[in-house]
Structure 1
């Protein structure tokens, strides 16, 4: 037991904020099962896609993990980010990193699907990057599209493991997509009826 807890509390790396107010800042990341911070290259591509949409946006970083996407969004001028992370130590690490940046985002230590019901106004941008091979993506997207957390025109960024069937939801129109040998990442626009 002690070895497991020591492993879970150790810093296993860093995420770097690549642009904006906190450009170049490195934030420590704790070791946690399934935690896979978004790489700088992927993050740079994503935020190039979002260049005209990020300023003053209200964002949800579901499955926040290290908070790489949410902190990058805040650095680039997002008005608000709600971080949702189920792992208690990872959520605590998010809070510590927010304190280092002197920012006070909402950080929920909760299941991402349950957290959707806690937000009554829709987000402009939703980041969806769940741990791979855990079957979390489809239930979350189904719940998201039925929730009040999304609106017509919201942007939804999705990252999922290679080999998974392409996503097909009537309400999501593909804008951009890139594939790597390990994963696919894509940006969608929500078209609600």
Structure 2
């Protein structure tokens, strides 16, 4: 994030667009370098993909996906100020997307249409990875071969469902990031 409360979209049709970002404690936007790496990994599958951006924060991951050809993104953010800023950024960029103002884990438990790509970057202060992963898997949110991106503290050990296999991973500072591929032929335990 830049000093003036903005981050930029780094690729696709919205490249170099700036997102206005509220200055809120605990907000930790995914860095340009990590986003570039992630979207290089996702490049073969992001076009036309149906995406979820859980714990959306600034919405940078989901907006980057839209910029690079995702068919749709649903953003889920419980903080009303962040959800409002996200709606304003989407309107300014003239991008259509759904913004849900709710707790991501609670919202996931209602069930929904399967996503091809999921971005999961919960607040590091909470321990929400396991609950969110379980809700994604058990409430019909994942396409059979979905891709799931997870950011977590470098020192965290997060259990994921056995159907999620590590595809790629990296570390940037204190953040560990992993792209999982759902493999439906692995039985759930």
TM more than 0.5: yes
User: 2: distance between equivalents of 1:165 and 1:114?
Assistant: 22
Contact 1:172 1:190 survives alignment (8 Å): yes
Within the candidate set 155, 178, 182, 2:174 is matched to: 182
Q: Within 5 Å, which residues of 2 pair with 1:116-155?
A: 116-155=108-147
1:73 and 1:160 map into 2 onto residues whose CA distance is: 20
Determine which of 168, 172, 176 is the counterpart of 2:164: 172
Aligned length: 183
- Contact 2:52–2:75 (CA under 8 A) maintained in structure 1: yes
Q: 1:77 to 1:185 in 2, by over 3 A?
A: same
Give the superposed CA RMSD: 1.5
**Offset, 1:96:** 0.1
SS at match of 1:156: strand
1:110-149: per-residue Cα shift (whole Å, max 9, x none)? 0101222455210000000011131111111111111111
Q: Which residues of structure 1 form unaligned runs of 5+?
A: 1-10
**Structure 1 contact 85–110 (Cα < 8 Å) conserved:** yes
Equivalent position SS for 1:50: helix
Q: 1:119 to 1:167 in 2, by over 3 A?
A: closer
Could you say which residue in structure 1 is the equivalent of 2:84? Answer: 92
Counterpart of 1:5 in structure 2 is: none
Residue matched to 1:36: 28
Secondary structure of the structure 1 residue equivalent to 2:131: helix
CA deviation vs aligned residue, 1:19-73 (integer Å, no higher than 9, x gap): 1111111111012232111000000000000000000000000000000000000
- On the 8 A contact 2:50/2:73 being kept in 1, the answer is yes
The alignment status of 1:25 with 2:26, answered yes or no, reads no
Where structure 2 has 5 or more consecutive residues not aligned to the other structure, the ranges are: none
- The answer on whether the counterparts of 2:9 and 2:60 sit within 8 Å (CA) in structure 1 is yes
Moved over 6 A (4+): none
- Alignment match of 1:63 (pick from 44, 52, 55): 55
Structure-1-length-normalised TM-score: 0.90
TM, length-normalised to structure 2: 0.92
